[in-house]
A and B are shown apart, each in its own frame.
Chain A
């Protein structure tokens, strides 16, 4: 007995919507991407309480030896003298009094360097400051 041959079925995966999904993902990444300006490596102190810093804030980096690097937030911090903080902050505060300053100091730096920076920021009436930290893991009760 001869069976009747069935019509062949085309095995294809519909990929017409693949491009749409991909472009949706691209839009998501474009919106959420923030290119990190500051690339300085500093061992930050730890804290449990942490708030998100304002993107684009001026950055004051203090490494463990007390060397200071400054950036207005749009480029990588550049090495400067610790006494230059006044003129640097004054320029920014004169343009925008609510300028946010992020202090990125090494956990092992002596407090004298941070004190000097804070003093200069106060002198120019810079008010909004955040001390950058990394998340501290809460010690378990056991």
Chain B
């Protein structure tokens, strides 16, 4: 006996909504993604036990005053003068120490702009002594005299 052949059914997955779901996910990721990585000035602090001494005779001293003005080795200057001041000194000694001493009441942005200028001038040895260290130096200097 011969059976009547049934109607052929197409075997396939319905993928028409896959793209819709995928694009919904894309929109989610586009909205939540933060591509901008945070950036800043990298610093490596010296080890507490092995503090490298930068003698004041060798180092360039940059002082930041309370009002945001700066002085280079005691001479009143501006932040934009730093690179031109350091250029000949670094040419003679690329490992020149630069000591940055900021007044506690000075704004932090001035310190950052000074460090930024030093980085642009390719200063390798930047020393930013903390208030505690400055006091200790003062004691040593006072005791020595």
Q: Which residues on A are within 8 Å of B, measured CB to CB?
A: 15-16, 18-19, 22-23, 25-26, 29-30, 32-36, 45-53, 55, 62, 102, 105-116, 118-119, 121-123, 125-133, 135-136
CB-based contact B102/A111 at 8 Å? yes
Contact (Cβ within 8 A) B33 A29: yes
Total residue contacts A-B, CB cutoff 8 A: 159
Dominant SS among interface residues on chain A: mixed
Residues of chain B in range 79-104 having any CB-CB distance to chain A below 8 Å: 102-104
Q: A102-B38, A133-B41 are in contact. Are A49 and B22 (CB under 8 A)?
A: no
Contact flag A47-B107 (CB < 8 Å), given A34-B34, A131-B40: no
| Tally of chain B residues near chain A (CB < 8 A) | 46
Given A32-B33, A130-B41, A130-B42 in contact, is the A26-B112 Cβ separation under 8 Å? no
Interchain CA distance A63-B46 in the complex, whole Å? 26
Q: Which residues of A contact B130 (CB under 8 A)?
A: 115, 118-119, 122
Q: How far is the CA of A69 from the CA of B64 in the complex (A)?
A: 26
Q: Do residues B26 and A35 form an inter-chain contact, with CB atoms below 8 A? A: no
Residues of A within 8 A of B72 (CB): none
CA distance A51 to B29 in the complex (A): 26
| Nearest CB of A to B30, in Å | 7
Compute how far the CA of A36 lies from the CA of B111 in the bound complex, rounded to whole angstroms: 27
Contact partner of B39 (CB less than 8 A), chosen from A23, A51, A113, A114, is: A51
Q: Which residues of A contact B107 (CB under 8 A)?
A: 107-111
CA distance A115 to B38 in the complex (A): 22
